[in-house]
Amino acid sequence: MEIAPGLYALPQIVKPITVNRDRSTIHPAAVETRQGLLLLDTTYPDEFEKLVDSLAEIGWRPADVTGIVLTHQDIDHAGATAAAVEHTGTTVYTHERCAPHVDGRLPRTKNVGNEPYPTTPVDVELVDREDS
């Protein structure tokens, strides 16, 4: 669903997880850029196809994804990143403190339901207050 020109919410109704026995809705997002589509978070590891379906509903394909920004390391935000990278070959961005938990250098410090998900290389580690 388009929430502003070029900004989309991609609601994903997902299976129950350990900490929540009800179905949940999570909201990855997508932003149109000059280079293509930028995803803000992914979804659970086994829910990637639902994300692909959501992209199709707004007229985009996985091949159109030119970047993924992970807001943090929780499974509902970063769990499908490995699948997304496998299908798109895109660049992964996340904060420098989060990167070692996403790429496997450090164990995850918080993981909804304590469920594992595949590690993913982080291409760009973002830092606070970087000057141009």
Is 69 among the domain residues?
yes
**Please, what is the end-to-end C-alpha distance for the chain in angstroms?**
33
Arithmetic mean of pLDDT, 107-129: 82
pLDDT in tens, 60-90: 999 999 999 999 998 888 999 999 999 999 9
Q: The CATH number of the domain where 110 resides is what?
A: 3.60.15.10
96 or 112, greater pLDDT: 96
Is 93 among the domain residues?
yes
Query: What token pair was written down for 14?
Result: 């997902």
Is 132 among the domain residues?
no
Domain housing 81? 2-126
pLDDT in tens, 14-58: 655 555 556 667 789 999 999 999 999 998 888 899 899 999 999
Is 49 among the domain residues?
yes
Give the number of domains in the chain: 1
Beta strands, E only, the chain: 2-4, 7-9, 12-14, 24-26, 29-32, 37-40, 65-70, 91-95, 124-126
What pTM value is reported for the model?
Answer: 0.85
Tell me if residue 126 falls in helix, strand or coil. strand
User: In this predicted structure, what is the pLDDT of residue 129?
Assistant: 73
